[in-house]
Structure formats: structure tokens, C-alpha cells
Amino acid sequence: MPAVRILPLVTGRLDVDMRIFSGEEGRGTLPVLSCLVEHPEGLVLFDTGLHPELTHDNSRLGRLSRSFGMDFTDDDTVAAKLESVGVRPSDVTHTVVSHLHFDHAGGLTCLPDTRLVVQADEWAAGQDAQAIEQGIYQPADYDLGHDRLEVDGDHDLFGDGSVRCLPTPGHTAGHQSLVVELPSGPVVLCGDCVYTEQLLDEMRTPGFGHDREEQLRSMQTLRELRDDGHRLLYGHDAEQVAALPAGGLV
């Protein structure tokens, strides 16, 4: 296996009503996780965080703007976070998005030269007029003319098995996770298939989503991978993010 490293990047935080997120009372602050995967043949970004405009103006969220507060400054954009680890956005060869929600696809505007890797089902869902009207999808985040690879199911990014798209639908129609083989063992970047370890342990889903039964099946897949020795990085797990090693995962 080639030498691969994962650098987790916290691209801001969301202030949310926890009833929507986990069914608990009150408000909570959730990290927005993006990850840079360094492979000898390319730099892969998994998710891109929030659109830079959200540092000062929530209005692009439309109907969702009332539900989300932002802890997001110019230092938290994906471009700033990449630069903080010595990577120019133009050096990112592939950007894999778990799905097209605003806190995962919003940073694509910072990466005009990257190749966008998205599940075909997700791209189709992101063109749905009703979902756009409801504010679930915001094409201005992702329909930017990128070189785009639409994937249908599993996909091996470099053909050596080290970085692989794993479909985990349910949260959205075409949600995917990313499996990365590190020297220390396999890691799964879960995206929003599951927000936190606790939700996976308890097999609880958020109050909203595309298809709850499908999401539970995808979560079961992740549980089996975890039982099989995969380390999981969850989409919005504050406790896990606080404990991540500064030098990344190797």
C-alpha cells in the first residue's frame, strides 16, 4: 500500500437546535469536518465545509438560515485551513463530497481547479426543483462547472485500493463515505451517514433525512466495518474532533 496520511480540518462550527440533530433538548455546537487525504498520486479532499460568504452573511441559506448559527471566520474556510497545512487549493486534485448539503459542498467555490467526485444519485438529487425550493440543496454551492466524475456505487480513486468511495445512502439519496487504507489500518470518513459515535452506538437517526430505513442500513454497514477494525471519523462529533492528533492520522 502507498504511504497515505489523513489530515482532519475543522472548517468552522455550526450552532444548531439539537432536537433536529440528535433528538436532545437545547442548542449545541458542532464541528464541520473536512479531511485532506495525502496520496503519492494526488491530494484528495473529503468534503469542503461552508461557503466563505457565511462568515458574514447567512442569507444564502434561505429557509435554513433560521435553523443554523455559524461560528465561522475567514480563518475557518477550507481554503484557509488548507493553507494552514501548506496546501494551495489548486493543489487539491480530487474533491470527494459525501453529499451536497451546504456544510459539505459550500467550500467548492474555493477549489475551482479540482476534480469533483460525487455519486450520480446525489448529483441528480441536487438538481431536484422541490428540494432546491425547500433549501435542502443550493446549486450555487456546487453547480459551478467543475470537472466532475459522477460515480455509480463503489469507486477506487487511484486504482490501488487505498482510497475508495463507499456508497452510504439514506441521509441523502446519493450519500457516500470514503475508505482510506493507512499504514496503521483502515479508516472510514463517514460524512453525515452518522454524525457522532453516540448516534451510531444507539442506532439513532436525525429527525430529517432522505430515507431513514436506508440510512439505518448504511449505519449498520459502518458498524460492521468498525467491528472489523476500521476506525471511523464521524461527520460532526465534537468529542472525537477534540481528541484528534495534531499531526493527523498515519
Contact residues for Zn ion, defined by CB under 5 A: 101, 192
- Tell me the residue type at 130: Q
Taking the complex as a whole, the smallest distance from the CB of residue 173 to Zn ion amounts, in Å, to: 12
Residue 121 or 192: the one with the smaller Cβ distance to Zn ion is 192
C-alpha separations of 24 from 74, 135, 190, 224 in Å: 31, 24, 22, 26
CA dihedral over 213, 214, 219, 225, signed as positive or negative: positive
189 vs 93: CA distance, rounded Å = 18
**First vs last Cα of the chain: how many Å apart?**
12
Residue 1 or 124: the one with the smaller Cβ distance to Zn ion is 124
Taking the complex as a whole, the smallest distance from the CB of residue 190 to Zn ion amounts, in Å, to: 11
Neighbours of 88 (CB within 10 A): 11
* Most distant CA pair in the chain, distance: 46
Taking the complex as a whole, the smallest distance from the CB of residue 159 to Zn ion amounts, in Å, to: 29
Taking the complex as a whole, the smallest distance from the CB of residue 105 to Zn ion amounts, in Å, to: 9
Residue 122 or 192: the one with the smaller Cβ distance to Zn ion is 192
Taking the complex as a whole, the smallest distance from the CB of residue 64 to Zn ion amounts, in Å, to: 11
Residue 101 or 155: the one with the smaller Cβ distance to Zn ion is 101
Contact (Cβ atoms closer than 8 angstroms) between residue 203 and residue 216: yes
Residue 39 or 101: the one with the smaller Cβ distance to Zn ion is 101
- Among all residues, whose Cβ is closest to Zn ion? 101
Residue 103 phi/psi, 5-degree rounding, is -90, 10
